[in-house]
Amino acid sequence: MKDYILALDQGTTSSRAIIFDRTGQPVGSAQKEVKLLYPKAGWVEQEPGEIWATQMGVVGEVMQRTGISPQAIETIGITNQRETTLLWDRKTGKAAANAIGWQCRRTSNLCDHLKEEGWEPYVRKTTGLIIDAYFSATKIAWLLQSDPELKRRAKQGEICFGTVDSWLIWNLTKGEKHVTDVTNASRTMLFDINRQEWDDQLLKKLDIPPEILPEVQPSCSEFAKADPDFFQGNSIPIAGVAGDQQAALFGQACYHPGMAKNTYGTGCFMLMNTGNKPVFSQKGLLTTIAWSNGRETHYALEGSIFIAGAVIQWLRDEMNLIRHASETEAMALSVRDTNGVYVVPAFTGLGAPYWDMYARGAILGITRDTKAAHIVRAALESIAYQTRAVLDLMEEEGGIALHSLRTDGGAVANNFLMQFQADLLNRRVERAAIQETTALGAAYLAGLTTGFWDHLSSIEKQWKADYVFKPAKGEEWRRDAYQGWNKAVRRTFGWEK
């Protein structure tokens, strides 16, 4: 009997592989770091070969560690960093260029031109997104415009485009399958989320040949079978795929309209299930496909915050204020408050609900008695403030008041941050007992496809909270703190324009 599911979790800064059992518990994991490259200010790239090599490296490592053989694996689920854009040769599988990372801002000018030409309303109603350098469409256009020979080959059908899931499946099948799922497709700014098809008008406008696009499938479906050479002669089906934030929503068992989760990773991503119909935001939230099983599709409202845990990395690597992320909690608690300091980490512009590509980071309110601990505390608080801005808008546009927020991601281990978040939101913050919710969501999707789990209700029963943070501050404190944040964040708007 096959008692395990293998989840591949290819993230922005690391590749992970986790094996789950029938109770949804992780029985083993492995992780390798993936480098981010910064060739110019505001540009972010990754080496496609490293993405693939690290992902397969951790697969071998977790199987060796656990002693679980490929014969015991029922299926593979894949989840991935979204919007990151890759082009490769259809015959050789060789990457045509470095992957352009989702944080990369090199196409900001192209986005400005699209807005000036009046494309924003069409993009919003068709794709659920806004025009921004964050999404894949302008990254593809930039790559093709920058290399006439690459563009010629793309029009001849010799080049494949894919997000990271497509790249992994292509390699796992040795070039047999060029596919993606609806959640990843919905993040390209080329996909009609209403008809669930690639959009001809956007492709034409950006001069992107449809020949380069992958086939789109439901998140719960059999995408391919991994080549047996990778798994000791076993051909394991790949039966669940979702972008990382949709996978986390699924892994957090947010299966009913109005349920929401927030993932505190490199960025911060809040998604709220809105049911079987898309809710189109008018004030800066994204409308995205949450998942599909081929029979029904769930949609979500999403607030994308570009810099969350990355601000802690910045404190460590660039500012040398800490040696390890774990030190931030004690430092934050060593002072009564931030002493009026606000950190706005707009290192690559601001995401929802501000959407200012030209905003840049700032530390405001510094006085002679500002200490390192004040700046560290303000950096942590910035994550919670950005989340508050998204949640307020989500409740307003979704028409649903949330009673609690389910949380996951690396930064949720920081008790100060989670308590501050509960106080600022005046909501219960429920920290998931299993933190690998992104990988777990991919496993759940794959397991539902193959019958490893029979129904969503059986998965819902598996969800548990590790700790529930309850609000302990008054309304006056919340109002004053948030007003200070809004004053600070406005100072960063349009800095580079």
pLDDT at position 497 is 59
The reply to whether 31 falls in a domain is yes
pLDDT at position 410 is 85
Residue 145 structural domain = 4-245
Tell me the backbone φ, ψ of residue 116, rounded to 5 degrees: -60, -30
What beta strand segments (E) does 182-308 contain? 191-192, 197-198, 215-217, 220-225, 237-243, 260-264, 268-275, 286-292, 297-305
The reply to whether 230 falls in a domain is yes
The reply to whether 442 falls in a domain is no
The reply to whether 285 falls in a domain is no
The reply to whether 17 falls in a domain is yes
Count of domains for the chain: 1
SS3 for 230?
helix
Model pLDDT for residues 399-428, shown as the tens digit of each residue: 877 777 999 888 899 999 999 999 999 999
pLDDT at position 496 is 67
Q: Which segments of the chain have a pLDDT < 50? A: none
Rounded distance between C-alpha atoms, residue 427 and residue 472, angstroms: 10
SS3 for 36?
coil
Q: What is the pTM of this model?
A: 0.86
CATH code at position 31: 3.30.420.40
pLDDT at position 22 is 93
The reply to whether 104 falls in a domain is yes
The reply to whether 251 falls in a domain is no
Asked if 53 contacts 15 with a C-beta cutoff of 8 angstroms, the reply is no
Neighbours of 225 (CB within 10 A): 19
The reply to whether 277 falls in a domain is no
